[in-house]
Chains A and B, each alone.
Chain A
């Protein structure tokens, strides 16, 4: 199985690669459109800033490539946010795979810390990406979130309910870091590789 991990100017790519290696997959880390188009599975990881990430993708014509794929595609963390329509972070037009707005958390009372950092549970809908998981605790670290919409398959609550996981056709996304979420995160990656 050929798994492509999309290369762009985001941090923490190595953890995703190690997580896949632990599952016996040797991914290709690439920003070459032909490699991504021909892969069996595509993972769009990351941790970073939305406007600079989108600029990197657009400069290479990658925005169009990523939004027209037909194989299983998994966005992680900022990957999920970049798959939405628009992000408040840097007032950025994103890929528009999910028709959702990405907003910044706003504390409503004292002790609601931002970023949302740590382990939180997610309420799952029946979906093959989340098979075998019941309100899994996953590791989150983010200051922006995607609203809940019809494509939401997992809802996480922090200050407000937000999209913890999304799915539309071949496109999947999780806000948490499955590569850092112990056995339950590993299950999400395993499920994705089986799609």
Chain B
């Protein structure tokens, strides 16, 4: 049986792991390669590396980081942050990334999704959507959540699927950093409408929250950062609790 995935997210700035509350107040939470190996050992199903400063400060260190991580760990990982061209994607996949996620660049140039999916295959193209409730609607935000767009989250999600995205990483900016639960309603709406897997992100604080997003939210995977980095939630414990609640898990 296909299991639900637990995904620690490592937000990267200048080669170090950071995690901000609502993306603003950044704190250093360790060395990414060491953390990656640790999470792999703990039973994480996948890892996501997001270079959260990428669209503001350009840097070339991500490929080096991907190389180091790929050498060390034997679970899949996705890399995102400032990816805007086929060349970027080529370099990251060649360095050993399993998937790449695009966000701002896809909003700016939606055709990019078609080109990437056509060249590398849908299965390695994740589109990250940062969504925030704004004037009564869920609106897509870009640039690490700093820039609102006119795009409606549901419509954009449908469009990226139609253009060839293989997976959606949905981050609720309203829930991110709150540890009060995922955006289950929005996730469920997307899950009902789309045919590609959805990773829910933002708000996970305890095992009950993960259970809710897998059941009520219909998510295929759930992602969190600081609760894992600061060991507030241990992955083996989380997975065994979820399995005990009849959520299929790889133990």
Contact = CB atoms under 8 A, between A and B. Distances in A.
Contacts of B167: 115, 117
Interface residues of B, number: 38
Interface in B74-114: 74-76, 93-96, 98-99
Task: Describe A's contact surface by its main secondary structure.
Answer: mixed
Nearest to B74: A182
Which residue of B67, B76, B123, B194 has the most chain A CB atoms within 10 A of its CB atom? B123
Contacts of B220: 113, 117-118
A18 B96 contact: yes
A121 interface: yes
Given A141-B123, A143-B123, A115 B196 contact: yes
Given A114-B196, A118-B2, A118-B5, A12 B124 contact: yes
A158 interface: yes
Contact of A182 (B3, B40, B94, B96): B40
Which residue of B75, B76, B95, B98 has the most chain A CB atoms within 10 A of its CB atom? B76
Nearest to A141: B123
Contacts of A179: 74
A112 B221 CA distance: 14
Interface in A90-149: 107, 110-121, 137, 139, 141-143
Nearest to A156: B2
A119 B71 contact: no
Nearest to A46: B121
B101 to A, nearest CB: 14
A181 to B, nearest CB: 7
B166 interface: yes
A114 B122 CA distance: 10
Interface of B: 1-5, 40, 45-46, 67, 70-71, 74-76, 93-96, 98-99, 120-124, 166-167, 191-192, 194-198, 218, 220-221, 250
Interface of A: 11-15, 18-19, 21-22, 47-49, 107, 110-121, 137, 139, 141-143, 157-158, 177, 179-183, 185-186
3 cross-chain pairs, A with B, having the tightest CB-CB distances, nearest first: A14-B96, A119-B250, A137-B250
